[in-house]
Structure 1
Amino acid sequence: MSSQNTWLLLIASLPTAQTAARMRLWRALKTVGAVALRDGVYLLPQAEGAAEALAAQADEIRAAGGEAWLLVAAPLDASEHGAWRQLFDRSAEYAELIDEVRVIDPSAWPSSQATRRMQALWRRHAQIVQTDHFPGESQRQSQAALETLQTALLRLTSPDEPHPREAAIEPLAIADHRGRTWATRARPWVDRLASAWLIRRCIDPEARFRWLADGAACKRSWLGFDFDGARFSHTPSRVTYETLLASFGLEADPALLRIGALVHFLDVGGVPVAQASGIEAALAGLREHLTDDDALLDAACAVFDGLRRALDKNPTENTA
């Protein structure tokens, strides 16, 4: 959320011959959502990271032989704040995306393409959100339209996926869940593989896994996950992996939390994550090659182990 009363101005002047530098400046400022008041004068609400982003562009301008000044600004007439805010109105962009989403018939999408197309829509939404410094109802409506389409698509392509359920997350002790049998649906995909990895690495190192053709076959003594009626499954705001994180108090680990964002995006959509496409491709290749679910989990654990180490080494790396 941006400040409503403080603004940043970047005043820039580049040599006429620096066409490439002008294009880089334009692209960078468009990415952060800055508004051009006139040629060479750019406005941005002051918020976390805004000054750093503009300062970096000022350095680029000077390095290209130009001149740059970065200022804190405020209108003399307080009523002008509203007019400046209107310059950052993204409602038309959200409306265009909503109109496109509402005419989509998910049954017309080939299942092999549905995930990619849905992720492309979420990426467009994220790009608008990134430049929406004063989010409001339009952003919420856009998010809701995408979630509705995502749900309809999941019902068609993955009818056995668990339905989100309203339930409070009960804090659980890891020590009480050691040496247990954990059960989920066979031929696991991203959420089930990540959940099983989390169980094995952080909750129950001695876990035994059962892969079920039907969740109804889960015995009372087993701990079920990621199917309707399971002990651990989806909630309206969490996929199963994230439910496990919250249940066992693991959300303080930044790397585990960021893996949760990746799993959430790949499983049900939402905010795009930079590493998602690579992890998805690796897991898809393993799943196609390995027909034994235990072997698949062992191989997937190596993928998530590597991802966790990479995230531990780069704790501030952007994921979106």
Structure 2
Amino acid sequence: MLEQRLPNQANRGCHEHHYQRCRIPMEGVMPTDSTEETLYLALVLSLPSRNATERMRAWRTLKTWGCAVLRDGVYLLPFGEVHQQRLTDLGAEIREAGGQAEVLRVLPQPHGQEKGFRALFDRSVEYATLLAELDRLDPIFPDVNHLKKAVRGLRRRFDELTAIDFFPGPARVTTQRRLAELESVLDARLSPGEPNARPGKIERLDRREFQGRLWSTRSDLWVDRLASAWLILRFIDPAAHFVWFAPPEAPPPEALGFDFEGARFSHVGTRITFETLMASFALEETPGLRPLAHMIHALDIGEPTSQEAPGFLALLRGMKSRLHDDDALLDYGGRILDDYHLFFSES
């Protein structure tokens, strides 16, 4: 048995959210002893059999959103404003195509249905497929460009899968770890000199002693190096000058190095270079920098823990495709980071 709130009969024509309570039997739900309750949304639809195109379009759309099939013509999603708007809009399109559609708020009965509903969203099989492909990929494949393309494709599929993984489990963690390992090997091949984290405490430094200095890092700027250079200019040394070098070329001996093996400022413990610089110059409490650091950290180590990270990554990839000069990339990307910092400061 499943308790649902259905639209009041007097308002069903306009599909507004006026609710009454009733019980509808639902079959095929696993029993559970869990008392936890999550509110869900169900799209109940029916389309004329002659309208095969619309049926296929609706099915593909629902699959893309990660809907679970509760029974024929009943699709389930965890409750949320975005999910509700999507299902409501799709329901309107179905009715315009000559079908019937209702969006219902569904509350599983205690002690019986929450675990069953969550099982419908289990992505373990999809993660297992992705993990098998990751394991088949040889990280020392001679054609590094082919490897790069393959890894990016797997990363895109992983991100798409996590976007519809509403109840993450161990399979996600295992796949994420394997993907991060592969990306780390690829980064080492594409970016020689990538720093290894070193243990130890971070020394507090006086910004006044680091003004008008020459700073150096590896060329072909990416997430951590770009963000660290921006942090230096905006909060540490506004008169900084930068030199970019390509390993095995050595940086100028007089330069302050960051984000390469042996650099003065690099990864320490779990901190990436951006976070090491923040700690070194006592910037942790500067408004907006902590959430910005969280975004940069998530991108640098390949963890999908920041909602803003995918947007910045897309912008950075676009900039890299258009700009082939690190000075120009810092100038343009720095303005983007200014906007992110302002957003985080006001959030």
Residue among 122, 134, 137 paired with 2:170: 137
Matching residue's letter, 2:320: L
Counterparts of 1:157-236 in structure 2, within 5 Å, are 157-166=190-199, 177-185=210-218, 187-191=219-223, 192-212=225-245, 213-214=249-250, 218-219=253-254, 222-234=255-267
- The TM-score, its normalising length taken from structure 2, stands at 0.69
Structure 1 counterpart of 2:328: 299
Shift in alpha-carbon separation, 1:207–1:91, aligned structure 2, 3 A:
same
Distance in 1 separating the partners of 2:208 and 2:53:
59
Runs (5+) with no aligned partner, structure 2: 1-35
Matching residue's letter, 2:333: F
Q: How many residues align?
A: 298
Residue among 40, 52, 74 paired with 1:7: 40
SS of residue in 1 equivalent to 2:166: coil
Shift in alpha-carbon separation, 1:132–1:226, aligned structure 2, 3 A:
same
Matching residue's letter, 1:226: D
Shift in alpha-carbon separation, 1:234–1:123, aligned structure 2, 3 A:
farther
Shift of 1:151: 2.2
The structure with the greater share of residues assigned to helix is 1
- The TM-score, its normalising length taken from structure 1, stands at 0.74
Residue by residue over 1:2-49, the C-alpha shift from the partner in whole angstroms, topping out at 9 and shown as x without a partner, is x85322212223455655544443233222211122332111123574
- Contact preservation (8 Å) 2:200, 2:269: no
Structure 1 counterpart of 2:159: 126
User: Aligned-pair RMSD on alpha carbons?
Assistant: 3.7
Structure 2 counterpart of 1:292: none
Shift in alpha-carbon separation, 1:208–1:87, aligned structure 2, 3 A:
same
Residue by residue over 1:91-112, the C-alpha shift from the partner in whole angstroms, topping out at 9 and shown as x without a partner, is 1111111111112211115122
- Contact preservation (8 Å) 2:292, 2:341: no
SS of residue in 2 equivalent to 1:33: coil
- Contact preservation (8 Å) 1:279, 1:303: no
Residue among 74, 88, 94 paired with 1:61: 94
- Contact preservation (8 Å) 2:204, 2:279: yes
Distance in 1 separating the partners of 2:159 and 2:318:
22
Distance in 1 separating the partners of 2:204 and 2:97:
55
Shift in alpha-carbon separation, 1:259–1:202, aligned structure 2, 3 A:
farther
If you compute each CA radius of gyration, which structure gives the higher value, 1 or 2? 2
Residue among 109, 113, 138 paired with 1:76: 109
Distance in 1 separating the partners of 2:80 and 2:278:
30
SS of residue in 1 equivalent to 2:310: coil
Structure 2 counterpart of 1:260: 296
SS of residue in 2 equivalent to 1:97: helix
Shift of 1:52: 3.6
